[in-house]
Structure 1
């Protein structure tokens, strides 16, 4: 009996969905000054364009995926679709999707070092692809899904771009991952060694291209993104279900088989295909990935009990690091020198920086799974700093100081959506 009681204490009584214990939580939601400010600010900055933020010239699909619903509040459907069309027009001959696009006149190697991509289908823009990542294809599928669900414009799926419809191009992008990024040994997709959801690999001073030094591995973020995308694809295009459902189910099963550490109730950062790039005495599994875990929850891979345990661990990590929110990328960060890119120092950028862009997604999932009290509490530092800093900064230091672009639209998008979810909850009888 004592053992059973101990187990419940460890789990924090997580066998049930959280019940609201805060007095008048719905009133707090309705009257939250930070919610009102954040919503208004989000609408203001999304009106000014589609690039990731004021520090970037490109429109990136991994960013657009997280604010296309917000953009739909202020832009006509045609404008939203045209951005999506550009990604399809610049799609590779093997089905791959570019990372981002920029006006042709600005596509100069000296300005960014990218190998720009041009196609006959796209007269106005050049593309580029960060090849160490494998979330461009999945991000585009998710963005189209969000667009269609938001607008009801199912006709877009049958629109022809070149010799293929949008629906066919979506499936083609999934074929790219299953053909070119697939590990037969594990039944999962792989990418380069990056920090959690990041797009900077361990080797090379910049780190955005696959090189001879790249170490390929499996990670939770990329595979969870694929599960989400395949489920979106099958809902949008039901005739694809026979092909993709068994593959999707297999990815979900293998993700938990190979990447979930049952004993420690966390995801293993990387399973390497040909050896780790890090020293033999470095225990990478001590690192807890916040962003990948949030994405896994969105993919439906974790139970309610596991979600609560994950949240508790994130809160512990925030306290231990001194960070401002559960948007903390990971804890502990990789040691100094683990990445050649100088910006990837401990608690810098994607190596332990605090990103609302992913913290906001965790908030959404907490609301979805019934942990509304917890979501509300963890949301406060994120919206409070929007008002205090008068903007949506790209990331925050471990002592909660803003860094990077001050109009980071991805952060605006995820916070805006989370606030709408809170407001929907507050309307319930």
Structure 2
């Protein structure tokens, strides 16, 4: 888990003022409907300013995190040369574990030695300059790296990167190895799905510990939609990058998809259940956990092509209803209803705090993109607007927002900037198609 810390002062490059409409009336009438919306252009321009300043998750973090970098590498390509993007990816491969696992993030080695954060830092002779750390309650680092590499190659056309060697293995071999790690170390044969610790939706905090970032003897292992959907997307990207691996991974991909819907999809309630537990639940029997709706995991499941168009519409309707019931600002609401007070030992996981019902554009923006791609353009645009508005109102990109729409966590949060940029570009392209 990224430390829950006070809000850090915003970068001086950010949002000194709101959007200004400089187009004359004739130009606006001839422009596409989305080009007339100055907030799209303004937030896009500010996202570009944010990403120029670095690759760490936000100004509250020293590390470059793969789950974050995966969501803003496309935006980064607008401000940085391909070699810079590629070097960040190389660091993750140099720090890859002897079993194929991928670290969460990396930080300069000297800073790691001086750090008092509490991570067990990982060092590797292949990478003298950086140290890594791995949150072991997560099961998305490997999937995130495969997706990030795919995005880099799509942007750059640099397929030669796959043949580049890190140590004795090529990048292609290391990508394949990272997927094998999940099958070897995080695969439950009974359900045919991968597992992690119990967390709130896509979160990285388990309930059984004051911090909650490491598997312990008290951990309750569980299967959830987010981990498995991320794995499916990664397998799709891996087979696109390395067609020769399709015979190996396609049957696994099909089995994971089938088992996900078999074990996690609640047909009656048209939603994903929060968890399938492998050694019991950490929550009291009085909690009906299946009443909780996971917004983030559902958005990623749509990206993994698990839901039909009809199911996507039902999912959106449920999200909108949850926003109304909770009073939250956007469908970036992590989950609803929240886990009760005291469900997590980590004090930051109070109801509507952090990942327990905090409102994260980092995932809400992904839902916007999937709505657009699945034919719900009008709905996507309507749900995007309040996300753009609060960037302008708060003069920055923040990590998450409270139920009453107040900014929290790290400022200059690049994951938020990245997913908003991706969504805005879709709408811009839509206007161009219609001209």
Q: 2:316 aligns with which of 294, 311, 314?
A: 311
For 1:109 and 1:232, the matched residues in 2 are separated by: 37
Within the alignment, does 1:234 sit opposite 2:235 as a pair? no
Within the alignment, does 1:381 sit opposite 2:347 as a pair? no
For each residue in 1:385-408, what CA deviation from the matched residue of structure 2 results, as whole angstroms up to 9, or x when unmatched?
Answer: 111111110000000000011100
For each residue in 1:145-204, what CA deviation from the matched residue of structure 2 results, as whole angstroms up to 9, or x when unmatched?
Answer: 000001110000000000000000000000000000000000000000000000001111
Instruction: Name stretches of at least 5 consecutive residues in structure 1 with no aligned partner.
Output: 1-23
For each residue in 1:217-242, what CA deviation from the matched residue of structure 2 results, as whole angstroms up to 9, or x when unmatched?
Answer: 00000000000000000000000000
For 2:361 and 2:38, the matched residues in 1 are separated by: 18
Q: 2:93 aligns with which of 81, 88, 91?
A: 88
1:217 is paired with a residue of what secondary structure?
A: strand
Asked whether the equivalents of residues 51 and 60 of structure 1 are also in contact (C-alpha less than 8 Å), the reply is yes
Alignment of structure 1 residues 331-346 onto 2, 5 Å: 331-346=336-351
Asked whether the equivalents of residues 334 and 358 of structure 2 are also in contact (C-alpha less than 8 Å), the reply is yes
Within the alignment, does 1:56 sit opposite 2:61 as a pair? yes
For each residue in 1:75-112, what CA deviation from the matched residue of structure 2 results, as whole angstroms up to 9, or x when unmatched?
Answer: 00100000000000000000000000000111037521
Q: 1:395 aligns with which of 396, 400, 409?
A: 400
RMSD of aligned alpha carbons = 1.1
For 1:26 and 1:309, the matched residues in 2 are separated by: 33
2:176 is paired with a residue of what secondary structure?
A: helix
Q: Greater shift after overlay, 252-261 or 24-33?
A: 24-33
**What is aligned with 1:191?**
196
For 2:85 and 2:107, the matched residues in 1 are separated by: 16
For 2:292 and 2:113, the matched residues in 1 are separated by: 38
Query: 1:29 deviation in Å?
Result: 0.8
Query: 1:28 deviation in Å?
Result: 3.2
**What is aligned with 1:21?**
none
**What is aligned with 1:137?**
142
Instruction: Name stretches of at least 5 consecutive residues in structure 2 with no aligned partner.
Output: 1-28
Q: 2:48 aligns with which of 40, 43, 47?
A: 43
**What is aligned with 2:249?**
244
For 2:407 and 2:431, the matched residues in 1 are separated by: 31
**What is aligned with 1:147?**
152
For 2:387 and 2:409, the matched residues in 1 are separated by: 16
For 2:220 and 2:340, the matched residues in 1 are separated by: 18
1:123 is paired with a residue of what secondary structure?
A: strand
TM (norm. structure 1) is 0.94
For 1:159 and 1:110, the matched residues in 2 are separated by: 32
Asked whether the equivalents of residues 32 and 432 of structure 2 are also in contact (C-alpha less than 8 Å), the reply is no
TM (norm. structure 2) is 0.92
For 2:389 and 2:416, the matched residues in 1 are separated by: 13
Query: 1:25 deviation in Å?
Result: 13
